[in-house]
Structure formats: structure tokens, C-alpha cells
Amino acid sequence: MPPARRPALAILALAVGGFTIGTTEFMTMGVLPEIADGVDVSVPTAGHVISAYALGVVVGVPILAFFGAALPRRAALVGLMGAYAVFNLLSAIAPGYHVLAGARFLDGLPHGAYFGIASLVAAGLVAPARRGRAVASVMLGLSVANVVGVPLATVIGQNIGWRACYLLGAVLAVATVALVLAWVPSTPGDPEASGRREARAFFGNLQVWLTLGVGAVGFGGMFAVYSYIAKTVTVVGGLERGVVPVFVLALGLGMVVGTWIAGELAAWSVFRSLLGAGVVGIALMLLYFAAAPHGWVLLPVAFAVTAVGSVLVVNLQLRLMDVAGDAVTLGAAMNHAALNIANALGAWLGGLVIAAGYGYRAPALVGAVLAVVGVAILLVSAVVHRRTAASAA
């Protein structure tokens, strides 16, 4: 294998892991009625398996990053994706609802740690000027999953059975393990790294917390509108139910394009990319609110919302890697815990305003407020950085 191709193949292997996780995480939503019938519960109750996965992500990040800080990174990736395969298989054979919910919680545990370590590995494979593109390439697997993997898994689940979806997830995870072993170089662990040292560095780092706050709050706006896209299109926009997949596809394509753009912007400036994405996000949420009653006019706005959101995801990952200091493993992984908090926060607040009678386009205004708060936290981070630099000088 030519040496010049090794980094590209290694990053491709890591991106396949992102594709695996993205497909597995979101396909449950597409086959939720089939799951409800299969384990004999209502659809709202079956929806708790989605929450169980998100909870697993949030719980798993600090635990796995703490205990895996000193491990060789390729070995850690193999272990995490191997566990992902096992827990998907457990989901596929779950005899009832409670076992399935437990299996989905366990399957969420490796999620954030995988992306954190994969981002560190990808950044280390290329020159510093190209690390943004490398991390974006890993995240691109997650975005492509929403365009290819999730629709494919949904078709499989609807025609063969929901258990086949989780079997597909297990197969993809095993394939990722094989590709990581074949293409990702083996490097020894850091003997000086430890979970305790990372925890001390992490919890005492104000910049880390501010960056996580930007993700947990500022990114919630995207989920505030994404969670209710079907009702927005049909009830507010007056379109037929059959066009909803077109809007979902636009959201997925926006993620792909936004992830690619994020890598290019990161080479320019990570912080300015975050600030620009936050400001544009505020405007897009207001535009989404205005465009919602006009049917197809909403389509390009929905595309732009997820594109800008993906710029935030990639550059938040890079900023955490920059500001984490000695807590690099924990900091890189915590980005995905913050994003899952944003998922829950945006969907919950969006549901509150709908339940209060403000309609299905009101979550866009919630998203605008969340984006404003995210930008405010980012500006506080900039002030803290300048004061710290001035004190050091």
C-alpha cells in the first residue's frame, strides 16, 4: 500500500464507524411502529428506547474516556466498536421491551467515546493544517448515514422486520472493526495519561465547560425543528404526508454538505466558524418560522438549518480538542454527550411550546432563542480567553 494512501484509508475506516453509529442511532425512529408491535407496547412507550440510547451516550462518555485514557487508541476503537456489535446483536434478539431498552442503553455507551478517539486519531494522521478536514471526514460518515444508511435500514425493517435493522448494525460494526485493524496504524498508549489526571484537567477547565455549553444549548435549535418536521410540513405547510421523506432527505443532505464545509472553514478559523454558524443559525430559525406556512419554500431552509448545524458539530469537536489540555481524550469525547443533551433539550422545549398551543412552527422560535444563548456563551468564552492570555502575558 503506498504510504500516501494510508492516512486516507485509515480515515475512511474511521468514517465507516461514524456511518455505523449514525445508521444505528437514527434507524430506530424509522421503524418505531414495528418495534412497538414486536414487543407489544404503545408507540410512545417504544419511543423510550430512543431516549435510552441517548442516555447511554451521555453516561458512557465520561466513564469510558476515564478508564480508556491510557489505552492504545486503535485498541480502544476496536473494543468500542466490538461492544457496539454485541449490543446491537442483543437488541436484535431481545425477547421483550425491557431487555430491548436495556440493550439500547448499553449500545449508546460506546458512541461518544468512539467519535472522540476517532477524531483524535484522524487529526494525528495528517498535517496540522488539514486536521479540520480529517475530523470532518470522520463526521461525514455520520452525515452520510442519514442519507443512505437510515433509509436503507428503514426499508429493511419495514419489509423483513425490525430485528433485521439491529442485525445490520451489528454487521456494520464488525466491518468497522476489520477496517480499523487493517488500515488504522497501531500506536502505543500514553503512559502518562490517566483517567484521574484527565478528570482533574477537565473539571477545572472553564473553557471546556463553556464550549460544552455552546453545544448543549446552541445546537438544540436544530433538534427543536428536526423533531417536528413531519407535522410542520403537513399541518403548517399544507403538503401531503408523502412528501415528508423529501424533507427528511434534504435535512440529511444538509448534514453532508455542512460537514464538508466545516472542514474547509476549520482551516480558516475554528472559533470564527463557530461564531458565524451561530449567528447564521439565528437568522435561519427566524426564516424557518416565516417559511413554514409556504409549503415547498421551507425545503431549502430546512437544508440550510442542518448544514449550519453540522458546521457547529465539527468545529465544536475541534475547539474541545484545542482547549481540553491534558484532558484531550475526555474533552474530545464529551462533545457527543453535549450534542445528545442538545437533542433532548431541543425536542423537549419544542414539545412544550406545541403543547402550549403555539403551533408546530413555534419550535423554530425556540431554536432561535437557543442559538442566541449559544452565541452568548461563545462570546463569554472569547472574553475569558483574552483575559487569561492578558494575565499570562
Contacts 24+ apart (CB under 8 A), 258-261: 258/143, 258/306, 258/307, 258/308, 258/309, 258/310, 258/311, 259/136, 259/139, 259/140, 259/142, 259/143, 259/310, 259/311, 259/313, 259/314, 260/136, 260/140, 261/307, 261/310, 261/311
pLDDT of residue 4: 38
Taking residues 248-262, what's their average pLDDT? 89
pLDDT grade for 77, boundaries at 50, 70 and 90? very high
1 — pLDDT class (breaks 50, 70, 90): very low
> Which pLDDT does position 222 carry in this prediction?
86
pTM of the model: 0.78
- Give the pLDDT mean for 349-366: 88
284-313: average pLDDT = 94
Which residue has better confidence, 223 or 185? 185
Grade residue 337 by pLDDT with cuts at 50, 70 and 90.
confident
pLDDT tops 50 at residue 3: no
Ordered domains of the chain (ranges, CATH): 1-193 (1.20.1250.20), 194-393 (1.20.1250.20)
Q: Are 277 and 316 in contact (CB under 8 A)?
A: no
What is the overall mean pLDDT for the chain?
86
* pLDDT higher than 50, residue 328: yes
Confidence of residue 5 (pLDDT cuts 50, 70, 90): low
